[in-house]
A and B are shown apart, each in its own frame.
Chain A
Amino acid sequence: ETGVTQTPRHLVMGMTNKKSLKCEQHLGHNAMYWYKQSAKKPLELMFVYNFKEQTENNSVPSRFSPECPNSSHLFLHLHTLQPEDSALYLCASSPSRQGPSYEQYFGPGTRLTVT
Chain B
Amino acid sequence: GQNIDQPTEMTATEGAIVQINCTYQTSGFNGLFWYQQHAGEAPTFLSYNVLDGLEEKGRFSSFLSRSKGYSYLLLKELQMKDSASYLCAVREGGNNRKLIWGLGTSLAVNP
Contact = CB atoms under 8 A, between A and B. Distances in A.
Interface stretch (B13-21, B69-77, B90-98): B90-98
Contact of A108 (B33, B42, B45, B102): B42
Contacts of B48: 101, 103
Contacts of B40: 108
Contact of B98 (A45, A98, A107): A45
A98 B30 CA distance: 12
Contacts, number: 51
A44 B97 CA distance: 13
Max chain A Cβ within 10 angstroms of own Cβ: one of B41, B43, B50, B103: B43
Interface string A44-75: 01001010000110000000000000000000
Q: How large is the interface on A (under 10, 10 to 19, 20 to 34, 35 or more residues)?
A: 20 to 34
Given A90-B43, A105-B45, A106-B42, A100 B94 contact: yes
Contacts of A94: 97
Contacts of A41: 103
B30 A100 contact: yes
Interface of B: 4, 30-31, 33, 40-45, 48, 50, 87, 89, 94-95, 97-104
